[in-house]
Amino acid sequence: MSSIAALDSKSTIDLFNDYVIPNYTRYPVSLVKGEGSRVWDAEGREYLDLFPGWGCNILGYSPPAVVEAIQQQAARLIHVPNTWHMEQQGRFAEFLCSRSFGKAFFCNSGAEANEAAIKLARLHGSAEGRFRLITFERGFHGRTMGALAATAQPKYHEGLGPLVAGFRYAAMNDLEGVASLVDDETCGIMIEPVQGEGGVRIPDPEFLQGLRNLCDEHGLLLMFDEVQTGMGRTGEWFAYQHTGVEPDVITMAKGIAGGVACGAMITKDQYAGDLRPGMHASTFGGNSLAMAAGLATGETIEREGLLQSVKENANYIRERLEVARTSIPIIRELRICGMMIGIDLTVPSTPAVGKAMERGVLLNATQDTVVRLLPAMNISREELDQGLDVLISVLHEMAEAE
Ligand SMILES: *Cc1c(COP(=O)(O)O)cnc(C)c1O
């Protein structure tokens, strides 16, 4: 009795201090409720979130169509193992592949989707003794050991060696550099069509075309990590569709199920058989709740014409920030691809996060100097204006302090 009463009186933050491994830097705020691009904390404070769910809440918090789909599916059938067929998995696979290509494998996260891609590339190359992958500096592919080795950022490797062997790192937009790393043990190239965590860096389309040619020449798989760019965020279903270059593999996660854990790897029909039975699996991959949520997310994007709104809002954001920039000398560069917005500063970007939060707007800082926004695809123009007003005034303030 007494111990239960004692537990009840503990605040959420106390519980974290006592029982949750401190591997994240958390704000001293507990979020309790969300709706669209708005979210509320335990004290009843309202925030406008320009980075909802770290990119997972592609339709904002608790989108009604997704909530309803999960409720209905939960009442009918929560989990079916992958030894059976299940309607929702088939339908979500059809949804994704008919907007890209090939066939899908489902898992639960971005790192897992990339592990599947790494295995596919190795299995495909194994008959010829090919196993090496080329990935890119400032890339981010996840935290599991394979995805970590693919992530060419030394700060994430510290203390974790030896890393999984067989990865070589190249500089983005340096095609000759990449070509010099290809040998007869190389099986593939993995790149983000827009680097997210890396600071919203957009590779040159000619560079991606060059990678395509290199892969065709040497029989390598070209794999695009669309974990952050995938399923509409950039204004196309997949970011490769802006580039004129079709990869052999795309991986996705984050927003694809509207905030429910879900990942997928899609590959062309001719490579799908390389991931043969017994070689790869995920117990919860493609589970019925995630599939129902994913379908509802995709159908909402389609029904509400959100690919188009993303394009219009991206132009609007660019216009407003270009104007603001003329009087904010600390803005070094603007990098925008749909609802992926990177504002590269000449000064550290972290203070912008705290200053905006004080004014009720949530955003992200990455790569030391970049302010990153990943607004929900369905954010309203009014909310966007409110968020940009705060962001711009924060940047003015930071510029004046220089
Ligand atoms: C977030 C991210 C990952 C890792 O996804 P998790 O779901 O955290 O494993 C991989 N690649 C990219 C491009 C990402 O943005």
pLDDT tens per residue, range 219-237: 999 999 999 999 999 999 9
Q: Ligand 1 within 6 A of 274 CB?
A: no
What are the pLDDT digits (tens) for 258-286?
A: 999 999 999 999 999 999 999 999 999 99
8 confidence band (pLDDT: 50, 70, 90): low
When pLDDT is cut at 50, 70 and 90, the band that residue 7 belongs to is: low
pTM across the whole model: 0.97
Supply the mean pLDDT for the chain.
Answer: 96
The CB of 110 under 6 Å from ligand 1? The reply is yes
Residues 6+ apart with CB under 8 A from 92: 104, 106, 286, 291, 294, 295, 298
Q: What is the average per-residue pLDDT within 5-21? A: 82
- What is the Cα 397 distance to its own chain's centre? 30
In short, whether 372's Cβ falls inside 6 Å of ligand 1 is no
For the stretch 170-195, pLDDT in tens is 999 999 999 999 999 999 999 999 99
- The two structure tokens encoding residue 101: 């290509």
Burial label, 278 (beta-carbon count in 10 A; 0-12, 13-18, 19+): exposed
199 lines ligand 1 (CB under 6 A): no
To test the pocket of ligand 1, the residue of 56, 202, 227, 366 to mutate (highest count of ligand atoms within 8 Å of its CB) is: 227
DSSP strand pairing (31-35 vs 38-41): antiparallel
The set of residues, in sequence order, having a beta carbon less than 8 Å from that of 116 and lying 6+ positions away, is 105, 107, 251, 265, 275, 280
Q: Angle 139-232-167 (CA atoms, 0-180°, nearest 5)?
A: 20
For 36-81, write each residue's pLDDT tens digit.
999 999 999 999 999 999 999 999 999 999 999 999 999 999 999 9
- What pLDDT score does 125 carry? 97
Q: Domains of the chain (ranges plus CATH)?
A: 21-50+305-401 (3.90.1150.10), 64-303 (3.40.640.10)
How confident is the model over 376-384, as a mean pLDDT?
A: 98
